[in-house]
Amino acid sequence: MPLWRSTPPGTPEDDPREPRPLPSPQDLRVLLGTARRAVAAAAGLRPGPEPDPTTLPPVCSQTWASFVTLTQAGRLRGCIGSLEPRRALVEDVAQNARAAATRDPRFPPVAPEELDDLEIEVSVLGPVVPLPVTGRADALDRLHPGMGAVLRYGGRRGTLLPQVWSRVAGAEEFLDVLLAKAGLPPGFWSEQVELATYGVVEVREGET
């Protein structure tokens, strides 16, 4: 079973010196249901019944970071997430699902009549690990499919999930899209740019 290092100090149930298992496919299906109910409630519909908390997988009460992505007819309809683990995973997924449906500034709030046409994806993140680079060329050499990435420059920050690699031509386009997410122009570079990477496990409706 693949492993990630556990979350930073301050999470009582985790020891940061020890690895812990990734959420299983069964765990991810539970989280997908959580996201679907949260989106339905955010759109003003009556969601399905909440499961008994005592029946949830243990990972749901552990502290992880997550992203929830909404698509409609193959096009992005909302995406909100957390880069740092700060609350129970089931709550993080629910909060991010509600935010993706109602507070992504790129889109209007999801309307009730859209719900049946939405496809939901939940991504659970591993730790964000610094990626020291000597310049743009080095960054292009070190970024590769399978990596999620975070770029920081001054007060600006942008991130791309690993799934974005399937929609770009290669590392150069990936980096330029990442720069755009941080509000920076294509081809930009500075010694003050900081990069970090992370991995995810994800589940999408229709693939479970």
pLDDT tens digits for 93-144?
A: 999 999 999 999 999 999 999 999 999 999 999 999 999 999 999 999 999 9
Q: What is the mean pLDDT of residues 143-147?
A: 95
State whether the Cα torsion 40-41-47-49 is positive or negative: positive
Whether the predicted pLDDT of 7 surpasses 60: no
Give residue 53's pLDDT.
Answer: 73
CA distances for 91 relative to 24, 38, 133, 168, 205, angstroms: 18, 10, 35, 32, 19
Q: Which of 76, 91, 125 is the last residue of a domain?
A: 125
Answer whether residue 206 is part of any domain: no
Residue type, 68: V
The answer to whether residue 4 scores a pLDDT higher than 50 is no
Question: Are 112 and 133 in a shared domain?
Answer: no
- Residue among 123, 132, 136, 190 at smallest CA distance from 163: 123
Helix, strand, coil shares of the chain, percent, nearest 5, are: 35, 25, 40
Domain of 39, in residue numbers:
3-125
| Statement to judge: residues 108 and 176 lie in one domain | no
Give residue 49's pLDDT: 67
- pLDDT at position 19 is 65
Q: Which of 116, 7, 114, 20 has its CA nearest to residue 64?
A: 7
* Strand residues in the chain grouped as ranges (E): 3-5, 19-21, 65-72, 75-81, 118-125, 129-130, 148-153, 156-160, 194-198, 200-204
Distance in angstroms (rounded) separating the CA atoms of residues 171 and 141: 8
Q: Quick one: 117 and 136 in the same domain? A: no
Same domain? For 25 and 109 the reply is: yes
Q: What is the per-residue pLDDT for 34?
A: 95
Least confident of 29-33, 48-52, 60-64: 48-52
What's the pLDDT tens digit per position in 60-93?
999 999 999 999 999 999 999 999 999 999 999 9
Of the residues 105, 125, 145, the one at which a domain ends: 125
Q: What is the CATH number of the domain that holds 176?
A: 3.30.1490.150
Query: Residue 9: is its pLDDT beyond 70?
Result: no
The pLDDT of residue 20 is above 90: no
Question: CA–CA separation, 172 vs 185, rounded Å?
Answer: 13
Q: Which sign does the torsion angle of CA 22, 25, 26, 28 carry?
A: positive
Q: What percent of the chain is predicted at pLDDT more than 70?
A: 88
- Angle between helical axes of 25-42 and 89-102 (0-180°, round to 10): 40
121 located within any domain: yes
Q: Work out the number of other CB atoms within 10 angstroms of the CB of residue 191.
A: 7
List pLDDT tens digits, range 164-201. Answer: 999 999 999 999 999 999 999 999 999 999 999 999 99
Confidence band (pLDDT; 50, 70, 90) for 45?
confident
Domains contained in the chain, number: 2
Provide the pLDDT for residue 206.
79
Tell me, yes or no, whether 167 and 118 share the same domain: no
Handedness of CA 72, 78, 84, 85 (dihedral sign): negative
- Considering the domain architecture, whether residues 111 and 137 belong to the same structural domain is answered as no
Same domain, 25 and 112: yes
Whether 13 shows a pLDDT value over 50: the answer reads no
The total of other beta-carbon atoms located within 10 Å of residue 47's CB is: 15
Task: Tell me: pLDDT of 154 over 50.
Answer: yes
* pLDDT attached to residue 14: 45
CATH code of the domain covering residue 45? 3.30.700.20
